[in-house]
Every structure is written in structure tokens, then in C-alpha cells.
Amino acid sequence: MIRRILCSVPLLTLSMASFAAPQLSQYTAIRVQKANELALKEEYKPAIEALNSIDTSRDYDRAYVERMLGVFYWQAGNSQQAITHLKKAVESHQLEDEQGWTTQRMLADLLMTNQQYTQAISHYQALTKNVSQNQKAEEIWFRLAQAQYQVEQWAPVLSSLGQYKKFKAINEVPTLSLKLGAQLALERWKSAIPTLEKLVSLEPNKLSWWRQLVGLQVQTKQYGKALDTLALAKLNKLALSEQDLRLLAQLYAQRGIPERAAITLSELAGSQSELKLITQQAVYWQQAKEWDNAIEQWELASRQDSKYQWNLAQVLLQQGYYDRAIVALEKVEQRDKQRRVLLAKARAYYKLNELDKALVEAKEAHNIEHSKESESWIKFLTNLRKTKQGVES
């Protein structure tokens, strides 16, 4: 699930330097001044009452009063009333230039704070068309992107961030998080990878960035990079989960480093008790040609499930542990492997120079199923035994 980014709206401010502007009638200016003095003492209720008592037919005066009411209601903690009055001020189109722009910015920020994102978007878009020289254009584009993010307008989010980038580089966590969320929603996996790489560099201790980066690298079949990323996260001593370590082991094995894969699995809590983990370690140790380690794991697995006696016996035979191999072969219960078990025992007894026992096993295998292999063993062992008897006689 894509993480929601909560916006942080700056304090709304109202400069009273222009309360006596030439456009404001003397009647209104005097009453506005009184209301402002009350507000400066944080006496918002009487300040609001003073503004509401102003009776004027002048459009500009009315718009100015609505603007002040919006600010005072906000300062008094009544955001809904603040929005109502700021909307009237903006929609009057009487406030121009800097004054009009800042009023609309107040309204957009309040709408954003109150989760009225669609309305906030329309006001932010209007603000972007005429950014005051005293304002930071990148802030407006960022807030627009945040509002679009909340209503899942993913392509517009990226477009707004593209405009943001013209004023300020996208190299901070909030902007990168917005960009990442939109890219993931649009399934632009390859484009999201550089974004995540920047997030990892900015917040190297945040494991979720590493995990998402590895996930995308795997999804785009960049397995080598995924291994490097996850291995680096482990090297940085991040608290990798069992799932992370299992994936790391798989990536090591895929890269052709089975020894590291086995070692990684050995670090899991169930490495010596969970059968699947035990057998996977055994396979990796075999691939790494670490035979004694492989034998140890197959022995552990065979104690839980006798079917792994066959795997154990094969490695024991390969490494010349013939007595131990015979013991393991005796415990193999799979009927479909009986012929192969008998031939393996014939080989083990032959290596131990117990030719009579080897021949018995070979003949029994031949009785189960005639094959060239069993027939060759019988001929070989029979001739060898005759030769040996001749020498001894």
C-alpha cells in the first residue's frame, strides 16, 4: 500500500500594514483598525464581532473584511468559518496583486489542512499561474503535488513535481516520497529505482527504502543489483527480517555464491530445526563443494524425515565414508529407490573389499529389475572374486 504523505501547512499570517490602503473607505478603515487591535490581544471573539458589525456597500471593503474574518476565525480555531470567509474574499475578485494572491494561498492551505483536496487543487493551480515575487513558487507546486497525491491523480503529481524541479532540486525526503508514490501507482518501476536510491542515501537507516529498492530490482530482473543492495543493507547492520535473509540467500545462490547462501540461511532462527531450511542449506553446501557441511545438514534432515537418508548416503559415498553410507542406505524406505540403494550398497561393499556382500547386493538389484548396470556389476564382481580366490589359493 502506498504510504500517504501528510502535508505540513505553514502558519497563515495576515499583515495589517495595508489596512488603511487607499481603496479602503475611512469608515471601514477605522473599524478594521479597532478589530485588529483586539486580535493582537488575542481577543478574537470581540474582534470578529467588530468586523461583522461593519455595514458597507463597497465591494473592496467587503472583500477586505471577509479576508480579515477568515484570518481571525482561523486564529480562533474555527477553520470551517475561516474557509467560508476566505472563499468570499477570493471569489469577490476585489483583492489584487500580492494581497489577492496571499488570500488565495491562505484559502488553499486551509482547504488542504481540512482534507478538502479537490478544492485545494483548483486554488493551487490558480496560484501557479501568477506567483508573487515575494513568494516561493516551489512551495505552491509542492502543495499542489501533495493535494493531487491525496486524490490519486498520479500523472499530475509527477507533472507538478516536474514544475517544482525548475525551482528546486527534488532531493529531499518529502518530495522524493511523493514522486515515489506516484511512480509506484503508475507502475513505472524503472523510474522509481533512482528515486529509491536517493531516498536510501538520505535515510540510510530506514529499512523500508532498502526493501522497496530490492523489490523493484528483483521485479525488473536486476538480480545482481538486488543482491548488492540487500547485502549492503546487512553490512550496514540494518535489522533484516527472516524474509529478507531468505531472499538474500536466494540471490547469493542465483549469483553462484552458494557458500554465502548457506551461511546466510544458518543465521535464521529455525536453521537447525526447520526441515526446509536444513535441506536448503545442505543443497547450498553441496553446490559449494563443502562436503562435510553438506553431510552434517543431510544427517540433521534425515533425523526428521527418513527420505533424506538417500541424499546423505550419496554424499557419504562420494566422500569415501563407506561404512556410514551403508548405515544410511539401510534406512532408505522409498520403494522406488530400492534398486539404486542395492547398487549403491554393492559399490560401498566393493570399496570396503567385501566382495561377497557386494555381489549379493548387485544380484538382488538385478532381480528387482534387469539392467545393464546391475549386470555389469555382477560380471565385474564375479570375475574379481574369482581372481582374488585364485591368488589366495
pLDDT single digits (tens) 205-242: 999 999 999 999 999 999 999 999 999 999 999 999 99
With contact defined as beta carbons under 8 Å apart, do 183 and 195 qualify? yes
Instruction: Return the pLDDT at 143.
Output: 97
Dist. CA 254–CA 260, nearest whole Å: 11
Instruction: Choose between 302 and 21: higher pLDDT.
Output: 302
Dist. CA 207–CA 187, nearest whole Å: 21
Dist. CA 373–CA 319, nearest whole Å: 22
Nearest to 231 by CA among 208, 214, 206: 214
3-state helix/strand/coil string of 70-97: HHHHHHCCCHHHHHHHHHHHHHCCCCCH
pLDDT, averaged across the chain: 91
Q: Could you tell me how far CA 277 lies from the centroid of its own chain?
A: 25
> Would you place residue 392 in the very low, low, confident or very high pLDDT band (cuts 50, 70, 90)?
low
Q: To which CATH superfamily is domain 1-149 assigned?
A: Tetratricopeptide repeat domain (1.25.40.10)
Three-state DSSP at 370 gives: coil
CATH 3.40.920.10 fits domain 257-333: no
pTM to 2 decimal places: 0.82
pLDDT above 70 coverage of the chain, percent:
93
Cell of 372: 545393464
Q: What's the half-sphere exposure (Cβ side, CA atoms, 13 Å) at 255?
A: 19
Instruction: Return the pLDDT at 134.
Output: 72
pLDDT above 90 coverage of the chain, percent:
85
Is 22's pLDDT higher than 60? no
pLDDT digits (tens, 9 = 90+) for 355-382: 999 999 999 999 998 999 999 999 999 9
Dihedral, CA atoms, 176, 177, 183, 188, nearest 10 degrees?
Answer: 70
Instruction: Return the pLDDT at 391.
Output: 65
Share of the chain residues as helix, strand and coil, in percent rounded to the nearest 5: 75, 0, 25
Q: Which residues of 292-304 are buried (b: 16+ CB within 10 A; e: fewer)?
A: ebbbbbbbbbbee
Three-state DSSP at 152 gives: coil
> Would you place residue 12 in the very low, low, confident or very high pLDDT band (cuts 50, 70, 90)?
very low
In the chain, list all ranges with CATH 1.25.40.10.
Answer: 1-149, 257-333
CA distance readout (Å), 129 to 101, 141, 151, 282:
10, 11, 22, 66
For residue 10, report the phi and psi dihedrals to the nearest 5 degrees.
-70, 160
Q: Which residues of 7-16 are buried (b: 16+ CB within 10 A; e: fewer)?
A: bebeebebee
Cell of 326: 551403508
pLDDT digits (tens, 9 = 90+) for 232-275: 999 999 999 999 999 999 999 999 999 999 999 999 999 999 99
**One-letter amino acid for residue 139 of the chain:** E
